[in-house]
Amino acid sequence: MASMRDIKRRKSSIQSTQQITKAMKLVSTVKLQKARTRAEQTTPYTNHMYQTVSSMLAKSGNVNHPYLVSGESTKKAVVAITSNRGLAGGYNSNIVKLVANSDLPKEDVEIYAIGNKGLDAFTRKGFNVKYTDSELIESPSYSDAAALCREVLKDYTNGEIGEIYLAYTHFKNTVVHEPTLIKLLPVEIDAAEITKSEGATAQMIYEPNEEEALDLIIPKYVTSLFYGALVEAVASENGARMQAMDSATSNAEDIISDLTLKYNRARQGAITQELTEIIAGASAIS
């Protein structure tokens, strides 16, 4: 049985860890609230953008535009959004796993890593990292997303990459965050969406003509998706960290109560032993 002193030392060390996880939980709760509000404010823009682009494509489905057909290159760009800091449960490893287990052949994947954790993990796994910008995730702004979009689209139009994917954590609500992998370019809009929106927009006129409008709107569409993904990823990161720290705090609580019990038992054992010794000594004398 461990000595009283050992148990006491262990207990106090766990208590201080618990204080840290508690504080981290509070911090991420506050950050989550901020990030969630931002994510919610972005949704109308992203949704509207998606609707417009899908109705445009529904109308101009046969246009032979570079953004709508796969490039010649077999390389696939994956923009992976992770965090710069750990201690967020499975948040980062889920994204890495998602990309690693996807159908995309590893040797064809070019990673555009946002976030240090993802960068490290992808490098370790032997992925080809083409571009990285980890500062971006600290406080994503629309112009950051636009810069990222320019970078990726440049490689796309140069023919260095043929397809663009985006891996990020979708923020469903405070407790549910889904790692998501979506294809951005060439744009694929599912057939159901098209028939749904067709009625309302059949009469739509585009100015300048559809091809030029696509030229201008698709980059904005990609940027808005990047921005939406960044903002949601930040919210998810803080949500994941909050959950991780919450369970760490309650685990610490469990261990502390366990140790307290052991400590009391050890203390009682020591007292009993001392008493037995005294009594035995006294009876030996008399």
Partner 1 sequence: MADDSRAFGIEIITPDRIFHKGEATMIEFNTAAGEIGVYKNHIPLTTVLAPGVVTIHKDGEDKMIAAVHSGFAEILPDKVTLLAEVAEWPDEIDVERAQAAKARAEERLANKTEAIDVQRAELALRRALVRIDVAK
Per CB under 8 A, residues contacting partner 1 are 38, 41-42, 44-46, 48-49, 52, 56, 142, 145-146, 200-201, 203-208, 212-213, 216-217, 220, 223-224, 227
Nearer to partner 1, 1 or 205 (CB): 205
DSSP 12-80: HHHHHHHHHHHHHHHHHHHHHHHHHHHHHHHHHHHHHHHHHHHHHHHHTTT---TTTS--S---EEEEE
Secondary structure in 3-state letters for 141-188: CHHHHHHHHHHHHHHHHHCCCCEEEEEEEEECCCCCEEEEEEEEECCC
Q: State the nearest-atom distance from the C-beta of 106 to partner 1, in Å.
A: 34
Which residue, 89 or 140, is less far from partner 1 as judged by CB? 140
Report whether 80 contacts 117 (CB < 8 A): no
- 45: which 2 tokens? 């823009």
Residue 131 or 142 with smaller CB distance to partner 1: 142
Residue 218 CB, nearest distance to partner 1 (Å)?
Answer: 11
- As given in the structure block, the two tokens for residue 284 are 């030996």
Query: Shortest distance, CB of residue 129 to partner 1, whole angstroms?
Result: 27
Q: Which two tokens stand for residue 181?
A: 């992998």
Minimum CB separation of residue 33 from partner 1 in Å reads 17
CA–CA distance, 85 with 82 (Å, rounded to integer): 9
Least distance between partner 1 and beta carbon 31 (Å): 18
Alpha-carbon gap, residue 258 to 205, rounded angstroms: 71
Residue with tokens 């290159």: 73
Q: How far is the CB of 217 from partner 1 (least distance, A)?
A: 6
Give the integer Cα–Cα distance in Å for 106 and 127.
Answer: 7
The residue among 18 and 223 lying less far from partner 1, judged by its C-beta, is: 223
Residue 35 or 145 having the CB closest to partner 1: 145
Which residues, in sequence order, are CB contacts of 218 under 8 Å at separation 6+? Answer: 53, 67, 185, 187
CB of 82 to partner 1, least distance (A): 22
Q: Which is nearer to partner 1, 84 or 201 (CB)?
A: 201
Select 221 or 263, whichever has its Cβ closest to partner 1: 221
